[in-house]
Amino acid sequence: MPYLQYPIPHNIVKEILSIYDSPLYVYQGDILRQTIAHITKSIVYPHTKFHFASVTNGNLSLLQIFKDCGWGIHANTPGDVYLALKAGFPAENIVYSGSNLSAEEMAQLLKWGITTFNLDSIAQLQTFCDIYQFQNHHNCSGSILLPNVSPSEQDVSITNNKIESAAKEIKLGLRLNLPEITGDSRIGVQSNQFIEAVKIAEKVNLKISGLHFYRGTGTNATKAFTQVINQIIETAKLLPDWQYLDFGGGFGYPYYHDRVAFDWEIFGNEITDILLKLDKKIDLIIEPGRAAIAGCATLLAQVVSVKWQEDKQIIGVNTTVANLSVPSVHGGYREIVSWKSGKLYLTDVCGNTTYSRDYLGKNCQLPKLEIGDMVAILDVGAYGYAMSSHFLHRIRPAEVLLENHNHKLIRKREDYDILLHNQIFS
């Protein structure tokens, strides 16, 4: 499987920085397409659909690459759905799996044409069925609007799908909470609640036909998935109308390139063998997020300060954990490299704020750097820009897509006016 183990060639870096400046997110389209192809071909089960978990990255140009490769979208929020529709995905190719939606938000998803819902609790299922029944009875799915989104944005002109979900086949699934597998998790419905769920759905002439298994965030151990397949399937059989298995959520990415990586071929072979032995056809949904997109992106940053504390090099760069929050928020490792050679020194790479935890990397091995040098923070495609913020009033970088040495801007750099957006003052 392709991983970004080297920086972008220096001549290309110089060219794109002369045009777009830094800090800069750069996505390598060829690496993204290779990764998508690798995951796709690893699972040969004939009734498989792949849905990108767009919570990890919502850039429309990148979503369109997934669409071009035949994938759908796995949405965790109405915002995920909105972006997917804007990127051109048909509503029927979007699966919603989330938690704690309001009635207004559920009504909006139905208006947008979403047909597959994996619900997180009995309460959410009851709310959904109430909204579904109300819209069917009154034929007025547009009467409830999503908060904080203008009516024009919610209009069905967002996509070509003008047929309401109420007129389509709704597929309802339950997110699974099985403590011996999922651990102490707030997500999902326990199997002893399946009978109650089936009865609630039947009251509005719907069926619980799916089970969604969420492993946990960023799991690289292949056995953590393969060893529970049989148990999940046996649990799914408790649903009398079981038709699909949404297996995934949590497929990892090896940020330490020399450590264990999730093995898509082993997983694909095992789940294929098991599903083919069933006495009925089950549709399989696979929903990679970080595993698909992490390795295609680099955050380029310029050195603006150098100091030494004894033998340790302290590098200040022109970006911050506001632009890449993972190291600070989750303690996540991202490899940092430069285009210089020479003796390596223990190095901390620090952001351009006074926040004491503004480290992009700690105890890195980097050569002696100077002001004006560039560093590359690798593997930032997942939860990079998607988790960026205006913390300490730093603005967000631009994003560029690089394919076959051709580059194009796919998101403009913010300016300070963004800090006033939606503020009301006199």
256-307 per-position pLDDT tens digit: 888 889 999 999 999 999 999 999 999 999 999 999 999 999 999 999 999 9
> Is pLDDT at 142 greater than 50 in this prediction?
no
Confidence of residue 185 (pLDDT cuts 50, 70, 90): confident
> Is pLDDT at 167 greater than 70 in this prediction?
no
From CA 423, how far away is CA 272, in angstroms rounded? 53
Per-residue model confidence (pLDDT) at position 325: 85
Confidence of residue 249 (pLDDT cuts 50, 70, 90): confident
CATH (residue range 43-288)? 3.20.20.10
Q: How many CA atoms lie within 13 A of 278 on its CB side?
A: 21
CA distances from 287 to 32, 39, 250, 284, 326 (A): 15, 11, 9, 10, 21
3-state class (DSSP) for residue 191? helix
Amino acid at 125: L
Per-residue model confidence (pLDDT) at position 29: 97
Backbone angles phi, psi at 262, to 5 degrees: -65, 135
Task: For residue range 18-65, list pLDDT tens digits in order.
Answer: 999 999 999 999 999 999 999 999 999 999 999 999 999 999 999 999
Mention every residue, 6+ apart, whose C-beta is less than 8 A from residue 389: 322, 325
What residue ranges of the chain are covered by domains with CATH 3.20.20.10?
A: 43-288
Confidence of residue 179 (pLDDT cuts 50, 70, 90): confident
Per-residue model confidence (pLDDT) at position 331: 57
| Closest residue by Cα to residue 408 from 62, 82, 68 | 62
> Is pLDDT at 157 greater than 90 in this prediction?
no
Per-residue model confidence (pLDDT) at position 108: 97
Task: For residue range 199-234, list pLDDT tens digits in order.
Answer: 999 999 999 999 999 887 778 899 999 999 999 999
What is the overall mean pLDDT for the chain? 90
| Closest residue by Cα to residue 372 from 314, 302, 420 | 302
Give Cα 151 to chain centroid, integer Å.
27
From CA 366, how far away is CA 418, in angstroms rounded? 35
Per-residue model confidence (pLDDT) at position 330: 57
Question: Which residue's structure tokens are 């397409």?
Answer: 33
Three-class SS of 317-344 = ECCCCCCCCHHHHCCCCCCEEECCCCCE
Percent of the chain with pLDDT over 90: 80
Per-residue model confidence (pLDDT) at position 158: 46
> Is pLDDT at 391 greater than 80 in this prediction?
yes
> Is pLDDT at 155 greater than 90 in this prediction?
no
Task: For residue range 320-359, list pLDDT tens digits in order.
Answer: 999 998 765 555 789 999 999 999 999 999 999 999 989 9
Architecture of domain 295-420: Beta Barrel (2.40)
Per-residue model confidence (pLDDT) at position 297: 97
| Closest residue by Cα to residue 176 from 207, 218, 210, 221 | 210
What residue ranges of the chain are covered by domains with CATH 2.40.37.10?
A: 295-420
Q: What is the dihedral of CA 214, 217, 220, 221, to 10 degrees?
A: -50
Q: How many CA atoms lie within 13 A of 422 on its CB side?
A: 1
On whether the CB atoms of residues 95 and 75 are closer than 8 A, the answer is: yes
On whether the CB atoms of residues 367 and 343 are closer than 8 A, the answer is: yes
Between 130-134, 142-146, 352-356, the lowest mean confidence (pLDDT) is in: 142-146
Per-residue model confidence (pLDDT) at position 166: 47
> Is pLDDT at 123 greater than 70 in this prediction?
yes
From CA 369, how far away is CA 307, in angstroms rounded? 10
From CA 416, how far away is CA 325, in angstroms rounded? 20
Burial class (CB in 10 A: 0-12, 13-18, 19+), 52: buried
From CA 338, how far away is CA 376, in angstroms rounded? 6
